[in-house]
Chain A
């Protein structure tokens, strides 16, 4: 199968001026500038198949946005190979730009003073979408996103969540085959996040577009991305399924029990961790989970028992804290 996105040893190095604090240093830097090289992306390789949804995770400054910008043709790579839908993005060919889209949650492209419908019209002209296709796609998006009433109001009167839905609709009118979504749910309330997520999943199912999504909300990633690429300091720390990520970076599981007679000391079974009122939780190495659970059931009058992986946030945090574990 051909790949939608193919990246090989991608690097981007910025030269940033640097100076010490203070007036003297400011004056000195006027005369002689010192530069520091920042390796924002330092050797990323990744493949994304058509129709695949990939979560792109990493702390602030990890190189996610820089990578997305190189993929969308905004930045020219320092070195390495990028091919999206068979195009080299940095050439910014119209044939390429017309098949991809970029959505940035913290920036909007809809014109503020006019209804979203008018901005859609502008995009129709820019993307040269035939009238019939345009109507069909627009009506489909408006229906899927449930924004029928909103698109007639000036964008400035919309709430953040409403505006984001309209932004997404505007970005998809030309039916792109590759979607770069940079923090699309940032700042939205839980309900709006959930609806947008549902929409992205549905769009992907209907149109088979490849999606590369960055988000700080793990709920987005869990709901949408069977596969995640974790990046830190410009390098790929992990590339695989969410489940494998948990297995790799979190060797523990948590067993939580409710006992018929509370108060028993369970520290002999594992590390006791805080739990809800009336329950006791112990953290045990994953390989021993079932054995420990069996012993607990045999030794105590257990009325309820659950086994859980740690929250994905904790796993990611663990991954960043423990980079040496990846190298091995």
Chain B
């Protein structure tokens, strides 16, 4: 409860800060449209040659793309800015201020920065998903939509935990500038359903880079591919990932000794 209130206050102040930069909204919209346009062109190109990609139809892949854009918006608006700030803090020793606060430090570092206008992608992604749904042969039922909501929430948690896990590596490596590019590169692989990748890559994406659970599972829910067991598995995986992240975070804090030490 207390944690929720803390998150609420941080989000509110973060949004207030971002409202000062209204001109950024235009930039974000243009950026988002260009990215989505490119992706749609690729998708159209692929389906001008074939009707089916690894068992997914064009409209179904559009659902995947919608989820990809939506979660990408969450990633770039909330998760990534805070992680960049965390790396900065480790480098400049200002993490000291976080660690001397009477609140959970792992929670604090996760909500400290917001880039509100990047959340344009959340709306665009939702729009794509909505449009794709109108083109599907079978509309998802209430259960499928509920499964989608749960899977999407799990996806947000997975992305956050995974990003935090890798960023915590900054504690040991001190400065990993390329980490952000590396992570966004990996995230881009998620624009296609994990199931179309060859077996060895798929396992890598699912367990090493948990994109499958983050992006593909919500899309599977809307396209009649999600079983209860798969959702349960995704939930178990999410819990495990958060636990590992927590453990590595604790190790990281223990190893952290301040930039001037």
Instruction: List the interface of chain A (C-beta within 8 A of B).
Output: 14, 40, 65-66, 69, 72-76, 92, 94-98, 100-102, 104, 107-109, 111, 113-114, 118-119, 121-122, 124-128, 154
Contacts and interface: CB of A to CB of B under 8 A. Distances in A.
A141 B92 CA distance: 28
Contact of B9 (A40, A66, A125): A125
Contacts of A108: 94
B9 A121 contact: yes
B44 interface: no
B20 A154 contact: yes
A105 B149 CA distance: 47
A65 B260 contact: yes
Interface in B69-117: 92-94, 96-97, 99-103, 108, 112
B257 interface: yes
A114 B261 contact: no
B49 to A, nearest CB: 48
B14 to A, nearest CB: 9
Contact of B257 (A14, A73, A101, A119): A14
Nearest to A72: B100
Nearest to A66: B261
Contacts of B243: none
Given A69-B258, A69-B261, A126-B101, A107 B17 contact: no
A74 B102 contact: no
**Which of B5, B17, B258 counts the most A-chain CB atoms under 10 A from its CB?**
B17
Contact of B13 (A95, A104, A109, A114): A114
Contacts of A125: 5-6, 9-10
17 contacts: A14-B261, A66-B261, A69-B258, A73-B99, A73-B100, A74-B96, A92-B99, A97-B102, A104-B96, A109-B97, A114-B17, A114-B20, A122-B10, A125-B9, A126-B101, A126-B102, A128-B2
Contacts of A74: 96, 99-100, 257-258
B9 A75 contact: no
Contacts of B99: 73-74, 92
Contact of B102 (A69, A94, A102, A124): A94
Contacts of B20: 113-114, 154
Contact of A126 (B92, B93, B108): B108
Given A126-B101, A154-B20, A40 B2 contact: no
Contacts of B2: 128
Contacts of B100: 72-74, 97, 100-102
A98 B92 CA distance: 24
A316 B56 CA distance: 77
**Which of B10, B100, B257, B260 counts the most A-chain CB atoms under 10 A from its CB?**
B100
A65 B13 CA distance: 32
A126 B103 contact: yes
A120 to B, nearest CB: 10
A107 B94 contact: yes
B227 interface: no
Nearest to A98: B102
Contacts of B188: none
Contacts of B108: 126
Contacts of A75: 257-258, 261
A69 B259 CA distance: 12
B93 A121 contact: no
A97 B13 contact: no
B38 interface: no
B106 to A, nearest CB: 13
Contact of A118 (B5, B16, B112, B260): B16
B42 to A, nearest CB: 36
A128 B1 CA distance: 12
Give the 8 A-B residue pairs with the shortest CB-CB distance, closest first: A94-B102, A125-B9, A97-B102, A109-B97, A98-B102, A114-B17, A126-B103, A118-B13
Nearest to B105: A92
B96 A122 contact: no
Contacts of B101: 97, 126-127
Nearest to B9: A125
Contact of B17 (A92, A102, A113): A113
Given A74-B99, A118-B17, A125-B10, 9 more contacts: A14-B257, A69-B96, A74-B96, A94-B102, A102-B100, A107-B96, A108-B94, A111-B17, A113-B17
B100 to A, nearest CB: 5
A108 B97 CA distance: 9
Contacts of A14: 257, 261
A56 B20 CA distance: 42
A72 B96 CA distance: 9
B177 to A, nearest CB: 20
B204 to A, nearest CB: 28
Nearest to B111: A122
A128 B101 CA distance: 11
Interface in B1-57: 2, 5-6, 9-10, 13, 16-17, 20
Contact of A40 (B102, B103, B261): B261
A100 B260 CA distance: 21
Nearest to B99: A74
A119 B103 CA distance: 15
